[in-house]
Structure 1
């Protein structure tokens, strides 16, 4: 293999290796972290199932869970960039660097009380004792106090106590509380258990689900609150509870990503999340609460550009994303290759003299023909000429055969054979003339001597 071919082969192998390395680097799985908790909670179980789903689907994004005790702990971890994703609540220190990926769940604030308590509106809670369900009682307390203030009720006039969902009915029966506030999805088991317990312990199940008629107006004034509708029959259909759909206030849990996270990673994460949602919901019904966030400009929570690209159908492929770089790279390689070729041509690098084949030998044989007087030498030259012609004919069957070189060689062989023939004729004529000269040569001096020398003039 010539040096030029070896160089080209080496360059091609290097390019293939670089392409393979680049493909592996681009497609390698990226591990991201998510703050979720507490351990064993419904959210933690769902996220862990999603983690396994990413591995099963061989996604380019892999997930690692980081435990967080409260929504505020998750928000703090994201703010410190200890994690890439987190589940946070809008009323609990929503990080400034957080951008939404999905609505994790909506938590309506539901006030339920026995009809006999006389509680018909939130304004009736003054000087009452109410129970609050859920972890993070401090956060829920502040949320309820905000709603009370919006209704003109002084929070200090309302006594708030924590009540586990399975003890809500007993607390109502024992008159430890006069009403119960749940904060969570209407389909969540703790909320269902708490309200079912109150209905069970109330005579004839006569309970009142208290609406917030001014929910839209309050949500306009308080950014982290949202107007949410409680659908008729959410807590039973015989009889339906509530009998009619009614408005209330609530807060939203968002799945968020930190602002600096790569758009492609977030886009793949979002795509896998919503693609796997139906399968996840079979084992984890909480997956049904996942919603697409508002993507319109001016929404209260900004959506991450990567998630937005997937949700709006503008997710870019590898070629689309790096088309400019690829174009410039190809243009640069082409220009650089042309420049290198020009420099190499100017300096004579990589040039290779064309193999003349047997032509120089034929030319030397042609000179030998002119210089010899021996017929045996001519016979040997003629035999060698025949061998060269046979070799040339055999070579014409091989790939890469040079027809122009063959034509030149054939012409030279023809000239060699003609020269051999001419030389043989010359030698034959010389042999025919030689005896006559030999007989006359001795007689001339005798004749000349007898005649007294050459006659003069």
Structure 2
């Protein structure tokens, strides 16, 4: 008996495995991260744009004068505090030219004394210094009222001729006309020489208040007993008549501790040195500038005493020079809360988040999102498995169909978890699945009771091998 190799019987047609459906979860996470990143980038860019460095032009007098030196100190302090503000210092030949430059809107900041020509757009930021008037007479010759100066020759000790004009105006207001009796003291002439040998009946010194504390010359002259310090009567009346003036008090012992001069507090008048800004300068800018100035006073004081006692500008509406709104905001402690200060930024952030989120949501929904598949549509795949049950001639073939059915079921469960399969038609799918599952079970029982006959060729091969 010849043996023939068994001819393999064509198996059941195999269906391709269902492709693994990609989950939407990774896309949702990715789009969420991109939305937050782009929103943060948008807000950061907006904040940078709002807080970009701003350069302010500072007009000053002579390059080595107190105004220029103060401006240089302020520029250093701004840099050391990482402020967004920067200064461009522009020196002039004198203070008057600096004020003129400010008046032409060619500068944002300037320093002026209240008896100067005040530009209409000047707004006060801070009081840097006080100039006080010291009415000095020879020892033993007290001056009780300004009217007593009518017949006296008066010398003025000051840095420039503008103070002579100031004294003449004050004397005219006090009904003690100055005429030609007031003149600038010769350069280098000491106070005691003016009172003893130069024929002056009184000396009026216009000095920085900070200098009266530090200058030891007053104490040396006082020990020689050559002068007396007098009050300026009706100081309050003078300030009302002439608003450039301010009431000042020289405390006991200010000029000299031994002997004590003055022996008691003396009322006089004075002037203020103000840092002014253009009225058109933004409130946040001046508020930031004021904050830096008031929080770093010690670093801004000059060696000679100028700006050693910086004071808040007068915020009253009837002040001689109205305070800038930015300075007023800081001085009156009207700083905005976190929500108020950053409300605009928060609005931008929310708007950016909404716009970017909407764009990504649209992109996800229309372009990249995997549309959910209905469970009822997968019932077709289940029924297709059922149609091939009758062709299964062995238990192995039924096992393959069982695996395919379970694969479909697993796909539905995972898909519903990840949102890529909707619950629409779930009853239909469930009915189809249970029907096919039962059919497989019944076919399995049938094959076990009625096993298929073996192939004759296979038997012949086995017989030949046995022989």
Q: TM bucket by the smaller chain?
A: 0.7 to 0.9
Aligned pairs for 1:43-62 within 5 A? 43-62=67-86
The structure-2 alpha-carbon separation of the partners of 1:101 and 1:278, relative to structure 1 and needing over 3 Å to count, comes to same
Contact 1:169 1:199 in 2 (8 A): no
What whole-Å deviation, never above 9, does each CA across 1:313-343 have from its counterpart, x for those lacking one?
11114530453784598479769978997x9
1:265 and 2:282 equivalent?
A: no
- Contact persistence 1:88–1:256 (CA under 8 A): yes
The answer to whether 1:146 aligns with 2:169 is yes
Displacement of 1:132: 2.6
Residue 208 (structure 1) aligned with residue 231 (structure 2)? no
Given the alignment of the two structures, is residue 353 of structure 1 paired with residue 371 of structure 2, yes or no? yes
Query: Which residue does 2:393 correspond to in 1?
Result: 375
Taking the aligned partners of 1:368 and 1:395, their CA distance within structure 2 comes to: 21
Task: Return 101-110 or 402-411, whichever deviates more.
Answer: 402-411
Q: Are the structure 2 counterparts of residues 362 and 106 from structure 1 closer, same or farther at C-alpha, using a change threshold of 3 Å?
A: same
Q: Secondary structure at the match of 1:188?
A: helix
Shift of 1:219: 1.3
Q: 2 CA distance for matches of 1:431 and 1:159?
A: 140
Query: Which residue of structure 2 aligns with residue 275 of structure 1?
Result: 295
SS at 2:311 equivalent: coil
Higher relative contact order (CA 8 A, sep 6+): 2
Structure 1 residue 403: Cα displacement: 12
Q: TM-score, normalised by structure 2?
A: 0.74
Does residue 79 (structure 1) correspond to residue 103 (structure 2)? The answer is yes
Q: Please say if 1:253 is aligned against 2:270.
A: no
Q: 1:307 to 1:186 in 2, by over 3 A?
A: closer
Q: 1:28 to 1:413 in 2, by over 3 A?
A: same
Distance change (3 Å), C-alpha of 1:13 and 1:332: closer
In the other structure, the counterpart of 2:62 is: 38
Q: How far is 1:241 from its partner?
A: 1.0
Q: TM-score, normalised by structure 1?
A: 0.75
2:247 counterpart of 1:224: no
The count of aligned residue pairs is: 424
CA offsets 1:132-164 (integer angstroms, 9 cap, x no match): 333332x11210110121233333331412444
CA distance in 2, matches of 1:431, 1:105: 116
1:163-184 alpha-carbon deviations (Å, 9 max, x no partner): 4467444555552755432212
Cα 1:399–1:259 shift into 2, 3 Å: farther
Q: Judging changes above 3 Å, is the alpha-carbon distance between structure 1 residues 130 and 375 closer, same or farther for their aligned structure 2 residues?
A: same
Structure-to-structure mapping, 1:252-401, within 5 angstroms: 252-281=272-301, 285-317=305-337, 319-321=339-341, 323=343, 326=346, 330=350, 352-355=370-373, 361-370=381-390, 372=391, 374-376=392-394, 379-386=396-403, 389=406, 400=417
The answer to whether the Cα contact below 8 Å between 2:62 and 2:91 also exists between their aligned partners in 1 is yes
Deviation at 1:355, TM superposition (A): 5.0
2:47 paired residue number? 23
- Aligned equivalents of 1:130 and 1:314: distance in 2? 48
1:375, CA displacement in angstroms?
A: 0.6
Distance 1:14 1:403 in 2: 27
Deviation at 1:399, TM superposition (A): 12
Say which SS state the counterpart of residue 268 (structure 2) adopts.
strand
Is contact 1:186-1:234 (8 Å) kept? no
Q: Which moved more, 1:280-289 or 1:146-155?
A: 280-289
Q: Say if 1:166 and 1:194, in contact at 8 Å, map to a contact too.
A: no
SS in 1 for 2:286: helix
8 Å Cα contact 1:389/1:410 also seen in 2:
no
* Residue pair 1:130, 1:159 contacting (<8 A) in 2 also: yes
Once residues 186 and 324 of structure 1 are traced to their aligned partners in structure 2, the CA distance between those partners, rounded to angstroms, is: 44
Contact 1:187/1:234, CA 8 A, preserved across alignment = no
8 A Cα contact 2:383 2:432, kept in partner? yes
CA contact (8 A) 1:172 1:198 kept: no
Pair 323,187 (structure 1): closer, same or farther in 2 beyond 3 Å = closer
SS at 2:58 equivalent: strand
Distance 1:198 1:153, change over 3 A: farther
Rounded Cα–Cα distance in structure 1 between residues aligned with 2:332 and 2:294: 13
Write the distance in 1 (CA, Å) between the matches of 2:173 and 2:320: 20
Contiguous gaps of at least 5 residues in structure 2: 1-22, 453-467
CA distance in 1, matches of 2:420, 2:232: 97
Please list the CA deviations of residues 61-92 of structure 1 after superposition, one character each: whole Å capped at 9, or x if unmatched. 33343324444333223222222222111111
Aligned-CA RMSD value: 4.4
Deviates more, 1:161-170 or 1:258-267: 161-170
Distance in 1 (CA, whole Å) between partners of 2:111 and 2:252 is 29
Contact 2:370 2:420 in 1 (8 A): no
Pair 403,163 (structure 1): closer, same or farther in 2 beyond 3 Å = same
- The answer to whether the 8 Å contact 1:134/1:164 transfers is no
1-side partners of 2:276 and 2:387: how far apart?
A: 92
